[in-house]
Structure 1
Amino acid sequence: MRVVVTATRASRCAALLLFFTMLWAAPPGRAEGLTGLDAERLMRAVVGVSAVAPPDTQSSRNLGTEREGSGIVIDGSGLILTIGYTVMEASEIRVTTLEGKEYPATLAAYDPVSGLSLLRAGLGFESPWIRLGDSKAVSEGDALLALSGGKARSAAAVKVVGKREFAGYWEYLLDEALFTFPPIRAFNGAALVDSGGRLIGVGSLLVAQAMEGRGLPGNMFVPVSALEPILADLLAYGKRQEPARPWLGVTLREEQGRLVVERVSPRGPAESAGVRPGDQIVGVGGQRFSGLADFYRKLWGLGPAGVVVPLELLRGATLAPVSVPSADRVRFLRLNPTL
């Protein structure tokens, strides 16, 4: 059953947002609070995003064929920013406004480096938009708002509890990500907004350890600083205009200083080269590494996509050198044919 957001519910959402902004006082030493925001405009600028992907696509194996999330309107022409995995390889994308109106949308750009995507809403779509803010100016302890759209629409006051690098097991690395507490459940594509009503980050993950060294759950947001240098490229070409990073097609788990291969992408570079689940990577390009992030940096430092990557694998008690001809990750995805 489809949930329709009525005008009455929209008013309640706006009231809820105002309640949170008044409840969540700014931390000592900060001049800015979260009161005085245009609550209704912010809520209307965050839309629901639903996507359907064919079952034979790579992403459907891990993400499923039907996906729900949020998107953030960032200009007056219907340009919507969201997290890429929600719409990756989708054959159908729809966006839903606060009032419950649905519009078709198309994938305008996908960037595997930042993990962000841009959508373009269809004819007739109208919405206020959120201006991009300065995520680099955000500090730990700052009070922000997390806004989600669609069926799980919500508004929550959160605090920044971490600004640090994030390494994902799917060959993904952010030099600096934003971590917030308390956790929100409708995180993918959610908007992280500052006291001036500007967009600071895009929701990506629920994490078990938002604050480093403590078992405090929260969310990871991709900062808008990851979008700004490539926005012109994404709008003009649908992707960033720089050589693609070498991609192996492995899912990794960090274990006692070694990286264990949990899965390999079917027909991907690693599988074709003979890398198997259970292999432990202990060296890359003739170098040792100190963890997942260091491994990625050494891997990507070997050259662009297509470079042959010498891996040193541990299989049981045996060291096995394997050379993997890397690839461009995007070429293995069934994206919008216009990209």
Structure 2
Amino acid sequence: MVRALRALLHPAARQVLAACTLALISVPGIPTHAANVESQQQAAIEALTRSRAAVVGVEVTAVGGARSADTLGQRRSGSGVVIGADGLILTIGYLVLEAETIQLTTHANQSMPARVVAYDLATGFGLVRPLLPLRGVRPVKMGALADLHPGDAVIVATGGEDGEVAMAQVVGKRPFSGYWEYHIDAAFFTSPPVGNHSGAALLNSRGELLGIGSLLVGDASGEGKPLPGNMFVPVDLLKPILAELQQNGSSRQSRRPWLGLTSAERQGRVQVVRVTKDSPAEAAGLEPGDVVVAVDGTEVATLETFYKNLWARPSPDAEVRLTVLRGSITRAVTLRGVDRTTTIAKPAGI
């Protein structure tokens, strides 16, 4: 049985399996005699084989005139993970943002079209569903953020023609703020990095899905030291809103003010790096180099405090008062945010 399953795996996957098995048998309290090791190894192989089969390649072409094409490109590729018995696939949202067409490729090289089910700004997740049945693919079970700790060994699986299985180590669990008006209170950080990280599956040795790949980062440890790695969005964020996403296409938390600013933390200040064309920020005259000092009179020094103060209002189009420093001049800027979902281009007929 073990030999047959091992034959199904790419050499890289066998290396991952060996490392994960070693990590398992080194846990205090778990016997390490030969029979137990063989049993654990067999269980790990079976879990890895099932989970890898559920990771698919995702190829996307954005609609003509998509705003996101400037930063994400017209054509995008990454991975997704089957999480539903009906073929529902979880991926990272920016892959399917403003998608015109989506093509999936399974581990068995089965290719088929898919459609977007949801794009969620608050979590960064995307959901797609194949238009044809996925044969021979079982959905992956979801794990939990609390079950994983820095130092733990994990598996990163990608799909498509160049799909692979790689070994990584958790080097951090902490909040994450993105320059594109995005924040989550907990994210996984792993190293060494995986290049094709978009939508990649983060799995534990039981084959459970822990997170979805989002970014390549230069400081995975968060200690200010060069350590290349990846950031993964934990599936814990999906569990309470999954039904809502399937029904409405986004979560309630995603209906919040969007200004169209790309910002960065620099020396304890929030500095504007880029202003999106035709956005509220551009209409208000904000420019790259401006420093956001306060929101509604409350001082902000980090992206997290900036975003949380921005989003703490009852509706997406509520009035926002920014205190902005340009050079040596401080000025007040009043603008209205917009619901980001209303600015996203959709395929013809939708």
Would you call these one fold, judging by a TM-score over 0.5? Answer: yes
Q: 2:82 aligns with which of 66, 69, 73?
A: 73
Counterpart residue number, 2:282: 271
Q: 2:148 aligns with which of 129, 138, 160?
A: 138
My pick for the range that moved more, 87-96 or 260-269, is: 260-269
Q: 1:30 to 1:306 in 2, by over 3 A?
A: farther
Structure of higher CA gyration radius = 2
Q: CA deviation digits over 1:35-58, x for unaligned, max 9?
A: 422232222100000000134111
Trace 1:47-86 onto structure 2 (pairs within 5 A).
Answer: 47-86=56-95
Q: CA deviation digits over 1:127-181, x for unaligned, max 9?
A: 2221111123211111111000113311011111100000000000010000011
Contact 1:243 1:304 in 2 (8 A): no
The one-letter code sitting in structure 1 at the alignment partner of 2:14 is L
The one-letter code sitting in structure 2 at the alignment partner of 1:323 is T
Counterpart residue number, 1:94: 103
Task: Give the ranges of 4+ consecutive aligned residues of structure 1 lying more than 6 Å apart after TM superposition.
Answer: 31-34
Find the aligned partners of 2:29 and 2:286 in 1 and give their Cα distance: 54
2:193 is aligned with 1:191: no
Contact 1:269 1:324 in 2 (8 A): yes
Q: Secondary structure at the match of 2:298?
A: coil
- Please report how far the alpha carbon of residue 338 of structure 1 lies from its aligned counterpart in structure 2 after TM superposition: 8.8
2:51 is aligned with 1:42: yes
Counterpart residue number, 2:23: 26
- Please report how far the alpha carbon of residue 182 of structure 1 lies from its aligned counterpart in structure 2 after TM superposition: 1.1
Trace 1:124-163 onto structure 2 (pairs within 5 A).
Answer: 124-126=133-135, 127-163=137-173
Trace 1:159-238 onto structure 2 (pairs within 5 A).
Answer: 159-213=169-223, 214-238=225-249
Contact 2:63 2:345 in 1 (8 A): no
- Aligned-pair identity in percent equals 40
My pick for the range that moved more, 64-73 or 264-273, is: 264-273
Counterpart residue number, 1:283: 294
**Alignment gaps of 5+ in structure 1:** 1-9
Q: Secondary structure at the match of 2:299?
A: coil
Q: Secondary structure at the match of 2:301?
A: coil
My pick for the range that moved more, 117-126 or 218-227, is: 117-126
Counterpart residue number, 2:304: 293
Find the aligned partners of 2:300 and 2:348 in 1 and give their Cα distance: 38
Q: Secondary structure at the match of 2:23?
A: coil
Counterpart residue number, 2:259: 248
Find the aligned partners of 1:88 and 1:302 in 2 and give their Cα distance: 25
The one-letter code sitting in structure 1 at the alignment partner of 2:153 is A
Find the aligned partners of 2:51 and 2:211 in 1 and give their Cα distance: 14
The one-letter code sitting in structure 1 at the alignment partner of 2:117 is A
Find the aligned partners of 2:99 and 2:226 in 1 and give their Cα distance: 35
Number of residue-to-residue matches in the alignment: 330
- Please report how far the alpha carbon of residue 241 of structure 1 lies from its aligned counterpart in structure 2 after TM superposition: 3.5
Contact 2:270 2:300 in 1 (8 A): no
Contact 2:104 2:114 in 1 (8 A): yes
- Please report how far the alpha carbon of residue 291 of structure 1 lies from its aligned counterpart in structure 2 after TM superposition: 1.0
Q: Secondary structure at the match of 1:183?
A: coil
Counterpart residue number, 1:113: 122
My pick for the range that moved more, 158-167 or 327-336, is: 327-336
Find the aligned partners of 2:175 and 2:133 in 1 and give their Cα distance: 40
Q: 1:145 to 1:243 in 2, by over 3 A?
A: closer
Find the aligned partners of 1:47 and 1:284 in 2 and give their Cα distance: 42
TM-score by length of 2: 0.89
Find the aligned partners of 1:189 and 1:338 in 2 and give their Cα distance: 27
Contact 1:14 1:40 in 2 (8 A): no
- Please report how far the alpha carbon of residue 19 of structure 1 lies from its aligned counterpart in structure 2 after TM superposition: 2.6
Find the aligned partners of 1:338 and 1:246 in 2 and give their Cα distance: 27
- Please report how far the alpha carbon of residue 335 of structure 1 lies from its aligned counterpart in structure 2 after TM superposition: 3.7
Contact 1:47 1:97 in 2 (8 A): yes
Find the aligned partners of 2:79 and 2:346 in 1 and give their Cα distance: 19
